[in-house]
Amino acid sequence: MDALSRGRLLHKLADLLERDRVILATLETMDTGKPFLQAYFIDLEGCIKTLRYYAGWADKIQGRTIPVDDSFVCFTRHEPMGVCGAITPWNFPLLMLVWKMAPALCCGNTLVIKPAEQTPLTSLYIGSLIKEVGFPPGVVNIVPGYGPTAGAAISMHHSIDKIAFTGSTKVGKLIKEAASKSNLKRVTLELGGKNPCIVCADADLDLAVECAHQGVFFNQGQCCTAASRVFVEEQIYPEFVKRSVEYAKKRLVGDPFDARTEQGPQIDQNQFDKILELIESGKKEGAKLECGGLAIEDRGLFIKPTVFSEVTDNMRIAKEEIFGPVQPIMKFKSIEEVIRRANSTEYGLTAAVFTKNLDRALTLASALQSGTVWINCYNALYAQAPFGGFKMSGNGRELGEYALAEYTEVKTVTIKLSQKSP
């Protein structure tokens, strides 16, 4: 299939996502527990924009002509990888599928997709839309199953040329190991994060409090980009904590199909128990529980929005990825100190800085060891901008033009001319 036709199919798939947006958002809410309006306005919007972005790229992927010796012509071709595996997570099942599928198809690859076993519904529905659009049979293959069986088979398979995974660092290591033991397939990993959110004394406090709140509680806290280490300069620390507690206490927890709901249930019992265990560790290790800290009784897997103050770097809630509605707030005295502390983690996915001082913002953006740094905003993600992590937050990049390199091989072609150029 030629490149222009691939782009047309991706545009048609985006059209069908717009047509069936309510159905897909409903399935996503049923599967994950996230509020319906979030699924409709954020997840589906991101899917549609990503498909259209890569539809536009399909016939614009090109190599370069390279000047070499006079008697040779040298150029590069960007060719499809071949068969790509995609293993998607349960927190953003549809969005993460599209982040992988759109650039892979745009570049001319075929796909084997394994959705998370907890949340397969939207992936299977997308399969019906792909068939309706008219993608050739076998181009996209969706294989529901468990990680140790279906996921491991994809990771080890000698006929799969590349694998893209979003999930935990622990599983990411297993996938990379499997890739190395099989055919050295290319691997893109988007893994965990323990993301610093730095609030300087000169920041717009209302903006910083709101962004830090949404940054950690969005999607029930089940987000790799969660602002799970909030560093606040000591001059404004008491006021920041006070306002953060007020925000948390007002956050509405309940039925995700209720338009007023801001926070639904956690994904499953295992995650629910892990979050509560980490909350208990915060209490035992001396953090001050400002609000929340327990489950909502008789309501299933719901946890009250939780805020801890007086958190120190050695506490588990400051070191481990909680993946739940828990906000640890720490204080700092100087920029040098907060840079050192923010970087003292094995992760490096995202970071945020709130300040009105441009020099300070750029200094921090340069010093922070993170794949993405937001200044005076949070979770500002766009199909055009690359996303990925430093250190143990992953390898490679998704989104933007950068993602095209993850799904193509570069071939160099050199031709000897019969005579030198004049």
Would the pTM of this model clear 0.85, i.e. be above it?
yes
Sequence-ordered strand ranges (E) for 115-266: 140-142, 162-166, 186-190, 196-199, 229-233
Given a contact cutoff of 8 angstroms between Cβ atoms, the answer to whether 251 and 262 are in contact is: yes
Given a contact cutoff of 8 angstroms between Cβ atoms, the answer to whether 200 and 237 are in contact is: no
> In the predicted model, what is the mean pLDDT of the chain?
97
What's the DSSP call for residue 419? Answer: S
DSSP assignments along 359-401, one per residue: HHHHHHHHHS--SEEEES-SS---TTS-B--EETTEES-BSTG
Q: What does the pLDDT read at residue 421?
A: 58
Distance CA 81, CA 97 (A): 18
Provide the 3-class DSSP secondary structure of residue 84: strand
Strands 408-416 and 72-80: antiparallel
Helices 121-133 and 3-19, packing angle to 10 deg: 130
Q: What does the pLDDT read at residue 272?
A: 97
- pLDDT, tens digit, 9 for 90 and up, residues 101-138: 999 999 999 999 999 999 999 999 999 999 999 999 99
- pLDDT, tens digit, 9 for 90 and up, residues 17-62: 999 999 999 999 999 999 999 999 999 999 999 999 999 999 999 9
What's the DSSP call for residue 136? Answer: P
Q: What does the pLDDT read at residue 348?
A: 97
User: CA separation (Å) from 395 to 117, 168, 233, 404?
Assistant: 24, 13, 32, 14
Distance CA 328, CA 316 (A): 10
Amino acid 305 reads: P
- Extract the residue ranges of the chain whose pLDDT is less than 50: none
Amino acid 162 reads: K
Q: What does the pLDDT read at residue 164?
A: 98
In the sheet that holds 65-66, the strands lie side by side as: 65-66, 72-80, 408-416
Residue positions annotated with a catalytic role: 190, 224
Q: What does the pLDDT read at residue 314?
A: 97
- pLDDT, tens digit, 9 for 90 and up, residues 213-251: 999 999 999 999 999 999 999 999 999 999 999 999 999
Q: What does the pLDDT read at residue 299?
A: 76
